Chains A and B, each alone.
Chain A
């Protein structure tokens, strides 16, 4: 047995006895450098209520000041990209919708646009399908920004806005349920168009929503904008200027809050966005406050877009005419979500052998996509959502890579946090709006 440095010892008949005494603290303290040795390393997450999901932060602190910050991701890695390679092209929609679970419509649309570009049918997508996509995307953008507002408010101590944000988001999810059959993970936008048409009940609901939402936005601003705690916690916090944003690949509201009006809907339009009228809100300061203002302003712009899309909605097909690509079944919404309509099943099973064969071939085998690769980028609520899709000519994707804004943007967290206070790490991280399902894929 070795002798202890911390306690005196003596032998007794019952064995060795240690006498632990205090008093060496002066000795301990005198040997330290009060400036450099006061750093402590704190692990935050991956299970932490204010890290916005399963994000793990390792912070080196000096008092309350963050000296170094490192983020660790991957806790929600689900291998979706690899899984896609074992399913046919249409089945891909059901996988990608689960990546960024707050913006499922964007994942699906980006994927569908990529597959359509590979197939060379971009121009064949019907006007109604494209308009429905825009409508759904903009509603989804509102719901995603509402969750951002709600969770960020909660993380900074404003509990009421959390309840309000989720309440209005629920309304949008109700609209989604009416249209797609599901609140989330819709698999609604598919290569070739959308799964099925928008029912009239949904149009009524959306009109109601358009009437209600501006009042609610006013309410949020009354709650937050003039509120001293909110402004203290956000103004001048976690600043990232345009140079830093572009170097670190940060896009979306964070880049726009630094003053650069880079919005793919305007700069590299898709889905006919160039024909809609809307503004790209920016803010000069590049702080959390700016990101808050930009996001609220974007909700207003999205409302405008939804209204325009509704006005444009003319009757017509919602799938490409090519029967070798369009899903053969008529889909219908049942109690458990969207599925094959029973009428269609009765028809192919009972009356039309050819329809049955056609259905069987397309559903089990899928369509083939000519070999090649494409990259499609769209403006998701978090920034540029890019899909790099490679086909080898088979019925399955050879490789699909998602350029996830959550993943790329999170790299900027150390740049925002280092040198600031630990409380501002929360504000800065939240202002990036990372969704870990999308980040880790």
Chain B
């Protein structure tokens, strides 16, 4: 079943995983290079065929109307209060009882302003701003996610703006939500997203002279091998993994 080919781990690796001819999940390549296992496998590393372990990235799909709950009201109110809605909102996604508005990055501050000020929306509190790196799954891989909370109506909405790593610019929302200050700094620190108009866009958690943006998916976890009871245990990101 195995040939003589070995690699770093010194363990023989099957040429083709079981079920590879039948279109089984194990045959599919991983959708991102972020989760390569210890043996440098291209597939899933799962030869048993038991788990069918492969990352299936479902495309982000526009939700059909009606969304249900307060989501329709929020969308209608935003459409009415913000004439450029069609231009600014790329997609409206409803998943697991949560509403996500995908916003064109250059419009994010405007949309936040309307979301905060319109009487029918009133998202007074910006709960959280954070980044997600969709390396290999999206051309505009760096997503900035804003969780807005309306204290008046007790609602939550998520805004998501995607920028590319080559041009990671989008306007800062600190003028609308002062609380975004440190959180945008964190997103800059960890993902290298540049928030234009931020009063003081410097690193906040990492040291000032740090190079790179640690939570990007192409930034290694780091770590050194550890010897334990005579065996060498590789660092976590180079251990054998099931993705």
Which A positions have Cβ atoms within 8 angstroms of B? 73-74, 77, 79, 81-83, 85-87, 117-118, 120, 246-251, 260, 262, 267-268, 361, 364-366, 368, 371-375, 377, 384, 386, 388, 390, 392-396, 398-399, 401, 403, 407-408, 410-411, 440-441
Contacts and interface: CB of A to CB of B under 8 A. Distances in A.
Contact of A395 (B50, B205, B242): B242
A74 B125 contact: no
Interface string B144-181: 01010101001010100000000000000000011101
B215 interface: yes
B50 A82 contact: no
Interface residues of B, number: 54
A375 B182 contact: no
B127 A384 contact: yes
A82 B133 CA distance: 12
A375 B53 contact: no
A392 B133 CA distance: 12
Interface of B: 31-32, 35, 46, 50-51, 53-58, 95-98, 100, 124-128, 130-133, 137, 145, 147, 149, 151, 154, 156, 158, 177-179, 181-183, 186, 203-207, 214-215, 221, 236-237, 241-243
A411 B179 contact: yes
Interface centre among B131, B181, B236, B242 (most CB of A within 10 A): B242
B204 A82 contact: no
Given A83-B236, A365-B51, A371-B58, A401 B130 contact: yes
Contact of B95 (A81, A372, A384, A403): A372
B38 to A, nearest CB: 11
Nearest to A268: B154
A384 B156 CA distance: 13
A82 B214 contact: yes
A330 B125 CA distance: 43
Contacts, number: 138
A411 B181 contact: yes
A249 B177 contact: yes
A240 B221 CA distance: 40
Interface centre among B96, B145, B186 (most CB of A within 10 A): B96
A390 B217 CA distance: 13
Contacts of A392: 31-32, 55, 57, 137
A406 to B, nearest CB: 11
A364 B179 CA distance: 40
Contact of A361 (B31, B51, B203, B207): B51
Closest 4 CB pairs of A and B: A249-B179, A403-B128, A401-B130, A74-B205
A73 B124 CA distance: 26
Interface centre among A267, A407, A408, A440 (most CB of B within 10 A): A408
A230 B183 CA distance: 34
B145 to A, nearest CB: 6
A248 B179 CA distance: 4
A410 B51 CA distance: 45
A373 B50 CA distance: 26
Given A247-B177, A368-B51, A399-B133, A86 B96 contact: no
Given A82-B221, A247-B178, A372-B95, A267 B127 contact: no
A29 to B, nearest CB: 35
A396 B179 contact: no
Nearest to B217: A85
B50 A361 contact: yes
A246 B153 CA distance: 15
18 contacts: A73-B204, A73-B205, A82-B215, A83-B221, A86-B237, A247-B178, A366-B242, A372-B95, A375-B147, A375-B156, A392-B31, A393-B54, A394-B242, A399-B133, A399-B215, A407-B183, A408-B182, A410-B182
Contact of A401 (B95, B128, B149, B205): B128
A227 B182 CA distance: 37
Nearest to B189: A74
B127 A77 contact: no
B50 A77 contact: no
B124 A246 contact: yes
Contact of B127 (A81, A87, A403): A403
Contacts of B147: 375, 377, 386, 388, 403
Contacts of B128: 375, 386, 388, 401, 403
